[in-house]
A and B are shown apart, each in its own frame.
Chain A
Amino acid sequence: MNTLFAYSLSPSSALGSLGLLLALGFALLGFLLSLGGGLSGDVRLAEGGRRSAWAVFLFTTLAVLVLEVATVRNDFSLRYVADHSTTLTPLWVKLVTLWSALAGSVLFWAWVLSLYTFLLSLVARNDVLRPWVMATMLFNLLFFLGINLTAVNPFTAMPLPPSQGAGPNPLLQNNAMMAVHPVLMYLGYVGLSVPFAYAVAALASGRLGESWLVQTRRWTLLSWMFLSAALVAGAFWSYEVLGWGGYWAWDPVENAAFFPWLFTTAYLHSLQIQERRRMLKAWNVWLIIAAYCSTLLGTFLTRSGVVESVHSFAAGPSGPLFLVFFGVSTLGGVILASWRLSSLRDPRRIEGVLSRESAFLAGNLVFVAFALMVIGGTLFPILVGVLTGAQSSVGAPFYDFFAIPLGLLLLALMGLGPLLPWNRQAKVWPALRWPLAAFLASLVLIWALGVHHLGPALTVGLAGFNLAGLIQLTSQAARQRGGIAALPGLVRSYPRRYGAYLAHLGLVIVALGLAFSGSYQRQQTATISRGQTAQLLGTPVRFLGLSQRQDPQRQSVVAHLVAGGEAMNPAIRVYGNAPTDPVATPEVYFRPVVDRYLTLLAYSGQGNWVTVRLIKTPLVSWIWVGTLILLLGTGTTLISGKARELSSQAASHLAREGA
């Protein structure tokens, strides 16, 4: 606690701490006012709470700006800047230093949370839930601002500022994804606190009507979109930088971003059952709570050092605090839900076995089972540690064992769902005929082409099933409107439906990329003398020579090679602030069919020889392209999600409740 009032000597430290302190004060005020407004129904209190959120946002923004300016101006009177930047650091790295270490990342988290709270205070419908929603958001902010002022303060002053800083971690300054992946991740993670705040509001106030779930749909979709983009941006980063040619390692922290995504994906689908058929309300609330609590679990895992992970921040005093917050939020949410939801009964039941809601529900169960398995695998080493005291770890084979079958099952349900009608026991055969034929045809074709791994072959079959289904649905609708020219109008009228189709198309492409890159990656390592050519995976690789390159902050040794007629220049970089930690920087040629990936592993000082590894991975680009299509589709559903798509019955029900 000795850093609580870290004002000594440094103007940046004083101004930043003051900003945080004022933000904390207004968060406390706003929380109490909102809580009072919620309990008493007094509009003036609630309004005061809402406006406090504006001040919280203002002062948190001030703190962020102070830290940014201090980093850019090499103000080493702040310990954070002295520890994580240097005068030689390029400007873009300085700008992202805000989230490149523990204290700054917590500040950035608090800022994103205050931004969401601010936006929510502007657009949230003025109903009985709003004070409770604001109170929940501000309670969250209390925690993040509070630890920012105590255990992990980015504004701690250095009594004797050094003339040079220690600088950022080499891996974090080696790729521009550092500016993208964490931001997307925080926007996604923190965004899930909005639906959670609504769930808490509904549970606490007892107003468990349906309108709030629908209100949170766009917030959830937005967070989900950021989360999806963040996961793939992280995978891309890992692929491009780390030199092992992979993009996903079932690392505990990768998992921690993945299970909120699974819960949220499930929720986005079961929400539609609730909108259409007024079922599964309790289930949806549970999914929201699970999604949000799993984001807190992820935050705790990265910042406590409880599990071994590439993403870990240096272990600090914040671990126990994050655990307490995780415990309070999780238990609070779970107790509220157990108390209120047990009396809830859905007014209807699922009637048709082969109906869209049953396909959605099956998909939901698979998503939740998937998430529980991933959580289990992530926490297993800790549980084993508790029971036996032994250290252990859970590796990729465990995850692949269930991830591949469950993924295939999801791919099948994803194709099936849109083809089935809501509720009715109608004849489904006409709708399924062509997609099933496409499934068999693609399966036979790919088998004949020599793909005899069951996973990739079934993925191709199911991709055929999905594509045929999407084409059939779209062309039928277009034909009814008078041909293919009607398609743009159709998309404009039903953005949610066609956005979802587009998102599904993107996922099919991603699935193909995952299946083939996962099963057919090949690699070979060789040492090549200067002027010589080696055959690596059938590609002639010729080593021309080494060159040195000196930048202010780093030194690079670049190997010049020609692989299959193309110049490739993988490098090993040594950053001035971490001379013992060389970073291999592979050269990647992205190709539609097979990526070519060359890493420099070792070299002789005189440039006589190099050791390189060539990796060839098929269809890995499809993951990146598919994700872009997925995001485009999600964006389409977001822009104009109007209620006109709802059945008239549900719409009138909503209107009644909203009034």
Chain B
Amino acid sequence: MSRRVLRWWPVALATLIVLALAYGLLKPGQSPVTPLVGQTAPAFSLPTLRGGKISLAALHGRPVVVNFWASWCVPCQQETPTLERFAARYGKQAAFLGVTFSDPVADARRFVQQYGISYPVLIDHRSDTAINYGVTGVPETFFINAQGVIVYHAVGPLTAALLRKELARIGVAVRPS
């Protein structure tokens, strides 16, 4: 390549960076569309922190919220009080489940204690369930309707607005706050 062309390489590089940032900024939606949305939720049967086992099949007929979290994850600490508030409020209509993700049981237990989590927390020892659900990081939350179909997959911390909207979509009668 000639010198004349070569001298413009910084311009090309700067343009590429700007374009990449523009794409990162403007790409539609923050959550990737998971192929699982619209599909039947993968079955699981996992031990809980308090002992005992919970399986998805046993909850059939109720809407379910499955929240993958870890005690070391900062956004999880942000969302947990909100999720707990909703679980306390709508726990009769829908099942709220936490699933620990790459987290020592002792740490998870301390987190549950610290945030006063009342809904069951399941231990996913070898991350089999997380893999089945295609979880790429924490927090991620799946909203499953009474027919067992995944309606929404939230990536990142939950907000009250999002919970209200998605709970309504899986058939929970959401009261105005």
Contact = CB atoms under 8 A, between A and B. Distances in A.
A389 B35 CA distance: 13
Interface string B66-87: 0000000011000001100100
**Interface of chain A: mostly helix, strand, loop or mixed:** helix
Contact of B14 (A300, A330, A386, A525): A330
B59 interface: no
In the A-B complex, list the 7 residue pairs whose CB atoms are closest, starting with the nearest. A382-B24, A342-B7, A580-B81, A327-B18, A334-B14, A602-B114, A306-B24
B137 to A, nearest CB: 7
A386 B24 contact: yes
Given A320-B26, A393-B137, A611-B110, A326 B21 contact: yes
Contacts of B110: 525, 601-602, 611
Interface in B1-28: 3, 7-8, 10-11, 14-15, 17-18, 20-27
B177 interface: no
B163 interface: no
**Interface of chain B: mostly helix, strand, loop or mixed:** helix
A108 to B, nearest CB: 23
12 contacts: A306-B24, A330-B18, A334-B10, A338-B11, A382-B20, A382-B21, A382-B24, A383-B20, A390-B136, A391-B136, A391-B155, A611-B114
A619 to B, nearest CB: 26
Given A306-B25, A331-B18, A580-B82, 15 more contacts: A286-B10, A293-B14, A300-B21, A323-B18, A327-B22, A330-B18, A331-B14, A334-B10, A338-B7, A342-B7, A389-B32, A581-B81, A601-B114, A602-B113, A602-B114
Given A580-B82, A602-B114, A385 B11 contact: no
A123 interface: no
A358 interface: no
Contacts of A525: 110
Contact of A386 (B3, B7, B20): B20
Given A310-B74, A327-B18, A602-B114, A385 B24 contact: yes
Most buried by A among B8, B18, B74, B155: B18
A232 interface: no
A319 interface: yes
A77 to B, nearest CB: 26
A337 interface: yes
A335 B85 CA distance: 54
Most buried by A among B3, B22, B27, B32: B22
A221 to B, nearest CB: 26
Nearest to B8: A338
Nearest to A602: B114
Contacts of B14: 293, 330-331, 334
A410 B76 CA distance: 39
Nearest to B13: A334
A389 B28 CA distance: 11
B: contact size bracket: 20 to 34
A611 B24 CA distance: 41
Nearest to B26: A320
Contacts of B85: 580
B150 to A, nearest CB: 18
Contacts of B15: 331
Contacts of A611: 110, 114
Contacts of B8: 338
Nearest to B84: A580
A319 B27 CA distance: 13
A628 interface: no
B130 to A, nearest CB: 15
A174 to B, nearest CB: 16
A138 B11 CA distance: 24
Contacts of A308: 75
A379 B20 contact: yes
Contact of A323 (B21, B75, B155): B21
B25 A304 contact: yes
Contacts of B25: 304, 306, 319-320, 323
Contacts of A331: 11, 14-15, 18
A286 B82 CA distance: 48
A627 B27 CA distance: 41
Contacts of A304: 25
A333 to B, nearest CB: 8
Interface in B134-176: 136-137, 155
A652 B81 CA distance: 69
A338 B137 CA distance: 42
A379 B113 CA distance: 37
A389 B24 CA distance: 10
A326 B20 CA distance: 13
Nearest to A242: B74
Interface string A372-412: 00000001001101100111110000000000000000000
